[in-house]
Structure 1
Amino acid sequence: MEFEWTEPDAQFRKDLQDFLGENLPASWEQIAHHGPGADQTADFSRSFCAKLAERGWLTQSWPAEYGGEDASPWRHAIVSEEMWQRGEPRGSQYMNVNWIGPTIMEYGSEEQKRDHLSRISRGDVLWCQGFSEPEAGSDLASLRTRAWREGDDYVVDGTKIWTSYVNGAEYCFLLVRTDPESKGGRGITVLLAPMDAPGIVVREIPAVIGERYFHELFFDRARIPAHCRLGAEGEGWGVVRYALAYERVGAARYARAARTLDSLAAHAREQGLFDDSAVQEKLGAALTLVEAARILTYRVIDLRARGSAPTADTNLARIAGTLCENAVSDLAVELLGTEALAYGHAAEAYFRMAMTAGVAVGTTEMNLDLVAGRQLGLPRS
């Protein structure tokens, strides 16, 4: 694939970089070091996203009727790259823009689109994701959280775990099983659940990635209005697959890896290590993985820009992104030694974030299985 940025896109990137230089305070790295779910980060992200929204940049690639500007998906890619290079100051709102909003556009009722998309576009609402369960992590289709109709509500019983960005979230993109006799992806329903619904209890899970990042959600006969159902009852698996295809390439984590790798190369030069052929080889190998992740992500974006639906290429892009993050993280520890693990060091913050790469949005092994089955047509056994 031959690729070159257009002049308007290149100018937009420069304008965005200037905006970041003006609106990210000198203390941003210290704020971000607390983790993407911390109070300090969440508070900053709200005000920051409001400024992005004022310029029309938060949801620029969305249709105008939903608060966007009908811009190309490439504009969204530019925003994602620049944000992740700077440690993702949008916080949890990157999820809103990347996959929650597009999934509501695809499957939502007119009422749901009206209620949710405008708020996402303004940057004044936070969401969390209710997918994983104690016995259903990567094997998402084995989820057990139940929901059944009682009048105008769904009554929900069950537990979600490793739920990120609960801090301040008003809604949860929640997966439930509405047909208790079903197995696998059948009988699953998606609810856009208000987090203030009676019967929802939240408990923080201490995590190395940062403060208030992971939580358990307990649903004890929680009542969720039936109009919060996204799509048809029992057909949520298709909704989930659509959402995951967007999520896998929505976070340009390779951009943060590239910036970290540049810092490591500069460190190697300063310390007189750059002339070592072994160091050069490792830097080059890591850079190759970063560029592979970038190109595979661009391939998916190109397909979307041409009007094609998300494909299994999103799994390839996600695998490449994980490999590049792990390679850069390992190299940071090798070149910096214990300094890379000292709290407050930029490399330590990157190391903690990279630890989630091979698990979030499905494990690397699961994504490899999906590529083997869907793209290569290989048998399961």
Structure 2
Amino acid sequence: MLDYTESPEVLDLRSRIRHLIDEMIPDGYLGAFTDDPNDLKIAEEFCQALGRHRLLALAWPVDFGGGGASSWEQTALREEMWAAHEPRGAQYMGINWVGPVIMRHGTKEQQEAFLPPIAAGEVIWCQGFSEPGAGSDLPALRTSARRTEGGWHINGQKIWTSYARMAQWCFLLARTGAPGGRKDGITVFLLDMQQPGVEARPVHSMLGNHHLNEIYFTDAFVPDAQVLGTVGDGWSIITDVLAFERVGIARYARCERLLSEAPTALADRWQTMPAGLVARWARALVRTREARLLAYKVVDHQNQGGLNPADAAAYRMAVTTLDQEVAEVLMDLVGPKALDARSDQPEFQRAVEDHWRYAQASTVASGTIEMQKQLLGKKLVSL
């Protein structure tokens, strides 16, 4: 049976992380993806400080620059980061799943080359998965990799790529041969973004600067040494990737923090809130605790080596729909000025507006909620 009591080590870790956040992250900080270059600089400096304390890649092996901590300590780190508006910024992909996947499927040379810079907070990775006409349906991708001397030439387009214009590396899927089945002939490449033949363009959206982009590849080169796993057998790696990706986000922690702050932040207005709205607030707060418990169940299964993609999908569905429910409740609590995000507005109002914007995409990112339902449905049918 899973024991939810936090160990002294986890409690001490939370205290250390909160101290570092208070020391380095200014009040009202809303993340690295704004129009202010200083916000990205704050995130980079914070991540490098975490790296020096071996806190950035907390659960990674010490040999790779990590802290060798337990997955429960890693879970506490994720919660503290999301409660503080995720000041690690664009390090999410590298730490939570690019690194772990390279540990499991990479060569010794790839591990030595790529893992220490991620753990030190010195490099940003983006994900080259979705394409026009092949979003959540990854096997439909058409970006091609063609053999050339010493490696591969990549041609094609990716879209909805977070961090692409600030990233130095891309975890890329491309076709290296005609598929025997829909998932055959796909290979994973570790591609240098800072080379000729790679063009990243912004996709302007309500999510703000840097978050969404499209990438065009024109004979971009990847040497053989930067193929991850076996050529043509990339789908087995992708199965791992999606499981890591879908349990690495503790957005329920930010939901809980914002909901908990509402009575104090809204001050006298809280006393006049309609009873129905207060009841919605209370239900949403309960649901954040439910999402936390579900996350802990998934972490426990992962620790036991038995994480099923359907379990990760169920958690993903719960936390993303929670994100949107909480966003709507918070917007109604703030009232008519909720969408006014000017810098002179109250800090809580700006945080709510930012949370609402990002929540709109939560049931689409990392695979649409419809795809998560298909995964879960197939598991239930096979029982």
1:351 aligns with 2:349: no
The aligned counterpart of 2:23 is 22
Q: For 2:302 and 2:35, how far apart are their aligned partners in 1?
A: 30
Deviations 1:131-190 (A, max 9, x none): 110111011111111112112111111100111111321100001011134442211111
The aligned counterpart of 1:3 is 4
Q: For 1:291 and 1:116, how far apart are their aligned partners in 2?
A: 36
The aligned counterpart of 2:372 is 367
Q: For 1:282 and 1:357, how far apart are their aligned partners in 2?
A: 20
When residues 359 and 47 of structure 1 are mapped into structure 2, their CA distance, relative to the original with a 3 A threshold, is: same
Please state whether the residue corresponding to 1:312 is helix, strand or coil.
helix
Q: For 1:374 and 1:19, how far apart are their aligned partners in 2?
A: 42
Q: For 2:135 and 2:272, how far apart are their aligned partners in 1?
A: 42
The structural deviation recorded for 1:26 is: 3.4
The structural deviation recorded for 1:24 is: 1.1
Deviations 1:216-264 (A, max 9, x none): 1111122211211111011111111101111111111111111111133
1:116 aligns with 2:107: no
Deviations 1:243-293 (A, max 9, x none): 111111111111111111113344566314577431232012212321222
Show structure 1 runs of 5+ residues with no match.
none
The aligned counterpart of 1:98 is 96
The aligned counterpart of 2:281 is 283
The aligned counterpart of 2:236 is 238
The aligned counterpart of 2:13 is 12
Choose the corresponding residue for 1:76, options 64, 70, 74. 74
Q: Give the residue type in structure 1 aligned to 2:136.
A: S
Aligned partners of 1:296 and 1:313 also within 8 Å: no
TM-score (norm 2): 0.93
Show structure 2 runs of 5+ residues with no match.
343-349
The aligned counterpart of 1:140 is 138
The structural deviation recorded for 1:69 is: 2.7
Aligned partners of 1:36 and 1:213 also within 8 Å: no
The aligned counterpart of 2:346 is none
The structural deviation recorded for 1:307 is: 3.9
Q: For 2:27 and 2:265, how far apart are their aligned partners in 1?
A: 22
Aligned partners of 1:74 and 1:305 also within 8 Å: no
Of stretches 170-179 and 285-294 in structure 1, the one that deviates more from structure 2 is 285-294
What root-mean-square deviation, in Å, do the aligned CA atoms of Structure 1 and Structure 2 show?
Answer: 1.9
Q: For 1:115 and 1:352, how far apart are their aligned partners in 2?
A: 37
The aligned counterpart of 1:51 is 49
Q: Give the residue type in structure 2 aligned to 1:18.
A: H
Deviations 1:33-72 (A, max 9, x none): x736964333222111110011111112111221123210
Q: For 1:35 and 1:200, how far apart are their aligned partners in 2?
A: 21
TM-score (norm 1): 0.93
Equivalenced residue count is 375
When residues 57 and 227 of structure 1 are mapped into structure 2, their CA distance, relative to the original with a 3 A threshold, is: same
Aligned partners of 1:132 and 1:140 also within 8 Å: yes
Q: Give the residue type in structure 1 aligned to 2:168.
A: E
Q: For 2:129 and 2:249, how far apart are their aligned partners in 1?
A: 18
Q: Give the residue type in structure 1 aligned to 2:155.
A: D
When residues 43 and 267 of structure 1 are mapped into structure 2, their CA distance, relative to the original with a 3 A threshold, is: closer
Q: For 2:196 and 2:243, how far apart are their aligned partners in 1?
A: 32
Q: Give the residue type in structure 1 aligned to 2:247.
A: V
Aligned partners of 1:132 and 1:138 also within 8 Å: yes
Q: For 2:303 and 2:179, how far apart are their aligned partners in 1?
A: 40
Q: For 1:37 and 1:141, how far apart are their aligned partners in 2?
A: 35
Choose the corresponding residue for 1:61, options 41, 46, 59. 59
The aligned counterpart of 1:324 is 322
When residues 321 and 109 of structure 1 are mapped into structure 2, their CA distance, relative to the original with a 3 A threshold, is: same
Q: For 2:41 and 2:210, how far apart are their aligned partners in 1?
A: 13
When residues 53 and 349 of structure 1 are mapped into structure 2, their CA distance, relative to the original with a 3 A threshold, is: same
